[in-house]
Structure 1
Amino acid sequence: MAHEHVHEEEQYITLINENGDEELFEILFTFDSEEFDKSYVLCYPVGDVDDEEEVMVHAYAYTPTEDGSIGELEPVMTDEEWDIIEEVYNTFTMDEEEEE
């Protein structure tokens, strides 16, 4: 029984990259982890989607705002958190492939 709830809404967020430039990211999905009492967002740079190559997916932790939107993004710090993110991502991508 999974404690992660995956939400899929078409959404975009703007992140500042290492060069200080704004970059538009499309949100792949967000999910909540009861284990860490945090929410996570997985996103990828808009325009990078090419079926031939692996898309660079970024993951961040966040605390939802009162209206349910994504608030301040925080880096993911622990290996345990990365393990959960990877597990949810793998499940998500397997589901996507089965639907096609």
Structure 2
Amino acid sequence: MDQQLFKLETENGIKTCKVLFTFDTDDHSYCIYSIVDEEGNESDEISAVRYELDENLEMTNFQELETEEEWDMVEEVYNTLIDTFSEDKTFTAVDEEGNEVECKIVHQFAIEDFGKSYVIYSIENEDENSGLYAASYVSSEDGAIQEIFPIESEEEWKKVEQTFELLNQSNR
């Protein structure tokens, strides 16, 4: 598949951008992209814009995101995309009886208010109806989940539940 590139006028001039992902909401179409330099090297920096399609179904009329809520929504979609396509989607935990259990990662996210990372997960080889679990976690140097911890307060649970609800809405 050919990579899709587009030109974007910025305050620093016209930039070549590589489309990483596009998605639509009820109100707008969004493009998550990276900058490509003159030699064709892709930047590690990721950003997003709103866009419209012209009569040839080409992206046009690029607009900056306007609100913090809009940036948060785009970031959540991006993180869900990364979670969906990341290769290592499991981790090992120890249950109450001291047994190692394989856990499947459903979603990972951070809540800045608490300065912690969280994971929503299910237990592998457990009955499908057993449900989902949530915990805070510490990651290893390579970014894998190293250790999980119980969620400590009602306030934390409310924030985790809000993220879980957003995840459910985006999967509908």
TM bucket, shorter chain: 0.7 to 0.9
1:78 maps to which residue?
153
- CA drift of 1:70 comes to 2.1
1:18 maps to which residue?
96
| Equivalent pairs, count | 94
Within 2, Cα distance between the matches of 1:47 and 1:93? 23
5+ residue gaps, structure 1: none
- CA drift of 1:88 comes to 0.4
5+ residue gaps, structure 2: 1-68
Within 1, Cα distance between the matches of 2:127 and 2:163? 20
Question: Is 1:90 aligned to 2:172, yes or no?
Answer: no
Q: 1:94 to 1:48 in 2, by over 3 A?
A: farther
Identity %: 27
1:27 maps to which residue?
105
Give the aligned residue type for 2:157: W
Relative to total residues, which structure has the larger strand share, 1 or 2? Answer: 2
Q: Could you say which structure has the greater relative contact order, defined with CA pairs below 8 angstroms and 6 or more residues apart?
A: 1
- CA drift of 1:42 comes to 0.8
Correspondence 1:35-74 to 2 at 5 A = 35-48=113-126, 50=128, 53=129, 55-74=130-149
Aligned-residue RMSD, C-alpha: 2.2
- CA drift of 1:73 comes to 1.6
Within 1, Cα distance between the matches of 2:89 and 2:107? 9
- TM-score normalised by length of structure 1: 0.77
Within 2, Cα distance between the matches of 1:18 and 1:86? 24
1:52-77 Cα shifts (integer Å, max 9, x gaps): x4x42111112333433323222110
- TM-score normalised by length of structure 2: 0.48
Q: Look up the SS of the partner of 1:71 in the other structure.
A: strand
Larger Rg: 2
Q: Look up the SS of the partner of 2:167 in the other structure.
A: helix
